[in-house]
Structure 1
């Protein structure tokens, strides 16, 4: 386990504050449940990566079951857990990973290095003023999922 503390957020106010207060770094918000297998795998990668990304990113875990967090769950259309959302200076960063949804990373990363590569590309793009970046990972290391559209 890393010596770096990864905050666990359960209140809307906590999420609002960390988004607003994280400046000149990528903010990585993992929405999930600490008890699910995929979330445990992703959390392990996030904990191991804390030191490697600490100069250009901050990481927080958001409890998807917390009552106050449901506003974010609906806003980002988090239907599959874990889902990871990225921000830079309070602006939502998007990534084209070949799926129809550019707003979040759905699923876990295959390795610590994959996560670091993604965060680094988001940071570099954000520093250049880009609101969306291209995923640096090869297609075989990008989780596949089926989009579900509600009410269509």
Structure 2
């Protein structure tokens, strides 16, 4: 499903995408497009399916880009991109931190399966960012105590 979303092929393109958006939230999914898990595994399939599925719904207040971390390794150390897929939020050239209850407030690094749940997160981040908040609290707690 990653072929349905725009890709950024250089560090400069990533910087320009973040800098160019004045009114919308910028979501960037860092990961691998060539990885076998994209086709056969659950992680990429679900995350990219959710991202492409909600792109039309959130287009008025958010834009989604994909970055292959092998092709563009510029941000791997800076954003600690060690996971197979990571979604990060930016607004007006500022990284928006989101408290999901997981301890890692910088990014979403697991597969989201529910499109409406992801739209709710994006709306919450957008509303908080528009108010000037650098830390936004997610509408749902994703800590492990609620996964059982």
Where on the TM-score scale, by shorter chain, does this alignment land: which range?
Answer: 0.7 to 0.9
| Structure 2 spans left out of the alignment, 5+ residues | none
Within 5 Å, give how 1:31-110 maps onto structure 2. Answer: 31-34=30-33, 35=35, 36=37, 37=41, 38-66=43-71, 69-110=72-113
Q: CA RMSD in A?
A: 2.1
Distance 1:143 1:94, change over 3 A: farther
How many pairs does the alignment contain? 139
CA distance in 2, matches of 1:105, 1:142: 17
CA distance in 2, matches of 1:107, 1:52: 21
CA distance in 2, matches of 1:54, 1:16: 20
**Match of 1:75, SS?**
coil
Distance 1:83 1:59, change over 3 A: same
CA distance in 2, matches of 1:102, 1:138: 12
Q: In 2, are the aligned partners of 1:106 and 1:143 still within 8 Å (CA)?
A: no
TM-fit CA distance, 1:137: 2.1
TM-score norm. by structure 2 comes to: 0.86
Q: In 1, are the aligned partners of 2:101 and 2:141 still within 8 Å (CA)?
A: no
Deviations 1:23-55 (A, max 9, x none): 211100001112323122211111110111011
1:6 aligns with 2:5: yes
CA distance in 2, matches of 1:142, 1:15: 35
TM-fit CA distance, 1:64: 1.4
**Match of 1:136, SS?**
coil
**Match of 2:82, SS?**
coil
Distance 1:65 1:96, change over 3 A: same
TM-fit CA distance, 1:139: 3.0
